[in-house]
Amino acid sequence: MLKIIVDENIVFGEEAFSKFGEVRLLPGRNLNNQILKDAEILIVRSITKVDEELLMNTRIKFVGTATTGNDHVDQKYLNEKSIFFADAKGCNADSVTEYVFTTLMKIASEKNITLKNKTFSVVGVGNIGSIVVKLAESFGMHVLKNDPPLERAGNETDFVSLDEALQADIISLHVPLTKDGIDKTYHLLNSENLKRLRDDSILINTSRGEVVDNKALLETIRSRKLKVILDVWENEPNINKELLDCTVIGTAHIAGYSFEGKVNGTKMIFDALCKFVGEKKQWNQSLPTIENPIRQLSSNGHKEKNLYQLFKSIYNIDCDDAGLRKVLQYGPNNTRKHFDLLRKEYPMRREFDNFRIIFSEKNDELINLLQKFRFKVELI
């Protein structure tokens, strides 16, 4: 029987992987070489650094991360040791996208901003960024795309430079973290190019904290009128509390934490493990039903304000922001514990496609927009 170590925060972790052997659920930050000595399968999230120090002289032959990002995994070492690796790219793309636009609706609502005709830059046009592009276009925004690897591959002809992208009204970052090579994204935004951001522009980072030099960003915010939304931070969970205090919205790396996003991640690693051991992909997860999936929406008035009230009725981002800001009261040791606890005890958040919107009068533009967000729409 296989011995399997699974991060305790992976949804349906025991249910899914007990099919393959004996499952131990453990805190991801506490995993070490000694714990893994007798295990063959390791399934983690982004908080566990998987490298030679963790795996040396163990029996691990399969590593799966139930996350979109994989910068916490030393894939070169895994290849050298013939350890099979699987990630869950795209598992939480809709979750992150809903986070991005909920934050935008909140700011637009509070500042009485209309998004139509604004310039929106998407830096990184992969699984998540490509969805963000389509939704931004649906709002009538002028979308700029920056993605050097895709540009070199000749996928499209309308990419812009990073310098041009940073001139937009709104900039949203969706790149993987890479620390070397031609496409290095470590400190992609730094003390030099942060100066190119316009006053009153909105910067959103839901990718990885190290993509932005947090110290330089803090200095930039203090000298400029920027609206900064951060879900990811350098040195998590020991985040820069001064930077948090300067953000418009700050959250604890939970943009991708919808229930569906988590389940997708588990399922993708389950499928990969089935393939690895030669089993059939048979696991039918049952998601909880939603008590009140029906919402009403006015087609009159300020569109962004109406949408924010709708989005907020499903996902109240103010709670996530307020939860993280409690660290401002704590010392350094408690900051780390609080950050991790917010993630461990994160309440169930459901994605927009679970909800049905009822209109009393027809509005084709708004109905089309809601459908792009995967809402079910009904006219009565």
Separation CA 198–CA 171 (nearest Å): 11
Q: With a cut of 90, say whether residue 297 has pLDDT above it.
A: no
Average pLDDT of the chain? 94
Residue type, 318: D
DSSP structure string for 209-240: GGGB-HHHHHHHHHHS--EEEES--TTTTS--
Instruction: Please give the average per-residue pLDDT across 238-252, as a whole number.
Output: 96
**Counting Cβ atoms within 10 Å, is residue 156 exposed (0-12), middle (13-18) or buried (19+)?**
exposed
Q: With a cut of 90, say whether residue 118 has pLDDT above it.
A: yes
Nearest CA to 99 out of 250, 218, 210 is that of 250
**Confidence band for 282, pLDDT divided at 50, 70 and 90:** confident
The bridge status of strand 21-26 relative to strand 2-7 is: parallel
pLDDT score of 140: 96
pLDDT tens-place string over residues 222-240 = 988 899 999 999 999 999 9
Instruction: Please give the average per-residue pLDDT across 161-173, as a whole number.
Output: 98
Q: With a cut of 90, say whether residue 248 has pLDDT above it.
A: yes
**Confidence band for 359, pLDDT divided at 50, 70 and 90:** confident
Q: With a cut of 90, say whether residue 156 has pLDDT above it.
A: no
Q: Which residues contact 156 (CB under 8 A, 6 or more apart)?
A: 145, 150
pLDDT tens-place string over residues 76-88 = 999 999 999 999 9
pLDDT tens-place string over residues 24-43 = 999 999 999 999 999 999 99
Say which residue the tokens 């998004």 belong to.
115
DSSP structure string for 327-344: GGGS-HHHHHHHHHHHHH
- In contact, 255 and 206? CB cutoff 8 Å: yes
Q: With a cut of 90, say whether residue 55 has pLDDT above it.
A: yes
Q: Where is average pLDDT lowest: 32-46, 175-189, 320-334?
A: 320-334
Q: With a cut of 80, say whether residue 372 has pLDDT above it.
A: yes
Q: Could you list the active site residues?
A: 208, 236, 253
Q: Which residues pair with 64 in a beta bridge?
A: 43, 86
Predicted TM-score (pTM) of the model is 0.94
Q: With a cut of 80, say whether residue 121 has pLDDT above it.
A: yes
